[in-house]
Chain A
Amino acid sequence: MQLMRTPKKIDIDITNRCNLRCRYCYHYESAGDAGGDLPASEWLRFFEELNRLAVTEVTMAGGEPFIREDLKEIIGGIVRNRMRFQILSNGTLITDDMADFLVSTKRCNYVQVSIDGSVPDSHDAMRGKGSFSKALQGLMTLRRRGVRTAVRVTIHRKNVRDLEGIAKLLLEDIGLSSFGTNSAGAIGLCRKNAEMVQLTTEDRILAMGTLLRLTKKYDGRINAMAGPLAEARGWWDMEEARNGKKELTAPKRGYLTGCGCYREHLAVRADGVITPCTMLSHIELGRINRDDLVTVWRDHEALNALRRRQEIPLSRFSFCEGCSYLNYCTGSCPGLSYALTGEVNHPSPDSCLRKFLAEGGRLPDRALLC
């Protein structure tokens, strides 16, 4: 597969600081939790390199990006260097002034705010008391001032029975065109708090069925790249492929093809260390403003090894031995796999359909997919 000459997007942990400590945060207590923040001047210099490389987009996350007092200066650097940006936020620190600034740049693709409940209890259970009302206030401020917004709902044990209420709040009461969902993955703080946070098999069954039903009710306005909704669709695809009712093409099946992030983008930790992805923060590829980004992109052995991951057949793993889904599976996220097995080149156990079924799981009603 051909490689782009330069990365198209860069995901930046613009800060290591956050005003919340969500119980399932993937950042804290992962390799991404990397000490102090770089000064704005370092980021501004880095953005000049990104401009020379024709990088078009920067995603700022953290930590909580709006905690940085110099965020406007940093965004100014993105704008000057001909890029667009998006910000992933908990929503609690957004002000009218900041929203107006974001609009004025004309370069903000969106601000994603995390809303995990329809009522304070289900949101605040993992994010801290008072965070629900502040997050909603932040979302409404952005919308009122004309900033494009996205909402991500992370599904966990305390909100899995509130999904109907969440959909109503976001799609009917607030009037979002859509929202995204995922679930707390076993990375960072979530791993430590797994018993409190992660969905049980019964919870997953409930979440898959509920989300499919709500997606039907709301004309497809709920989406997912990971988590129960994505799993319900992906696992049904595998089931139908196994039964000869469907052909699955891209990505190639039966190999570790679950993620192609590192063919399109790179990530940078808050300490300036370049990594393949925020989910693979332990793989250090270099440092901004010290190492040439193009050289890292094209020649770094660890990165190229990740790109060759797609050539590794699942039949190589004892974990997959005898699995009737093997030829229809992609092995899913390497970051999750690393967190759970200590190996990047391994299928993720958390995304395994056979394991889910063996633990008493069942796929939702097929009719809900139509």
Chain B
Amino acid sequence: MDVKNPIANPLIVLREEFDDWAILFDPDTGNAFGLNPTGVFIWKLLDGKHDTDAIVGRLREEAEDVPEDAGEHARQFIASLEQQGLVGYEVQT
């Protein structure tokens, strides 16, 4: 069965500015999207090797008080990134 893992568009620049906050910069459009520290953590794991469950698992390992519905939030976040062309999917067989 094919498994789709999200992978960050390599053209997109992760620009960490203050504390753990960052922006994603799309040089082709000039658009920038703000990321909170959790968003930055997830972005760095969008390497095509982690599915959403694995990403949330890593988040639970690294952070305290991760809410129960974090998986759903992560899925929505990744879906919104995909809609904006910032993330794609690599198919593994």
Interface residues of A (CB under 8 A from B): 2, 4-6, 8, 51, 54, 56, 79, 82-84, 106-107, 109
Q: Does B44 touch A at the CB level, under 8 Å?
A: no
Asked if B13 and A82 make an inter-chain contact with CB atoms under 8 angstroms apart, the answer reads: yes
Can you name 16 A-B residue pairings with CB atoms under 8 Å?
Answer: A4-B17, A4-B18, A5-B17, A5-B18, A6-B15, A54-B15, A56-B15, A56-B25, A56-B27, A56-B32, A79-B27, A82-B13, A82-B27, A84-B27, A107-B27, A107-B28
- In the assembled complex, the Cα of A51 lies from the Cα of B12 at a distance in Å of 11
Chain A at the B interface: SS class: loop
Q: In this complex, what residue of A is CB-closest to B11?
A: A82
Contact with A along B19-31 (1 / 0, CB 8 A): 1000001011010
Asked if B28 and A106 make an inter-chain contact with CB atoms under 8 angstroms apart, the answer reads: yes
Q: Does B14 touch A at the CB level, under 8 Å?
A: yes
Max chain B C-beta neighbours (<10 A), residue from A6, A54, A106, A109 = A54
Q: Does B53 touch A at the CB level, under 8 Å?
A: no
Interface size on B, residues (CB 8 A): 14
Q: Does B72 touch A at the CB level, under 8 Å?
A: no
Interface residues of B (CB under 8 A from A): 11-19, 25, 27-28, 30, 32
Q: In this complex, what residue of A is CB-closest to B15?
A: A54
Give every chain B residue within 8 A of A109 (Cβ-Cβ).
30
Minimal beta-carbon separation of A49 from chain B (angstroms):
14
Asked if A54 and B14 make an inter-chain contact with CB atoms under 8 angstroms apart, the answer reads: yes
- In the assembled complex, the Cα of A51 lies from the Cα of B27 at a distance in Å of 11
Instruction: Give which listed residue, B12, B18, B30, contacts A84 with CB less than 8 A.
Output: B30
Q: In this complex, what residue of B is CB-closest to A78?
A: B27
- In the assembled complex, the Cα of A2 lies from the Cα of B19 at a distance in Å of 9
Give every chain A residue within 8 A of B16 (Cβ-Cβ).
5, 54
Give every chain B residue within 8 A of A56 (Cβ-Cβ).
13, 15, 25, 27, 32
Q: In this complex, what residue of B is CB-closest to A3?
A: B18
- In the assembled complex, the Cα of A82 lies from the Cα of B18 at a distance in Å of 21
Q: A5-B16, A82-B13 are in contact. Are A54 and B25 (CB under 8 A)?
A: yes
Asked if B18 and A2 make an inter-chain contact with CB atoms under 8 angstroms apart, the answer reads: yes
- In the assembled complex, the Cα of A106 lies from the Cα of B27 at a distance in Å of 9
Give every chain A residue within 8 A of B27 (Cβ-Cβ).
56, 79, 82-84, 107
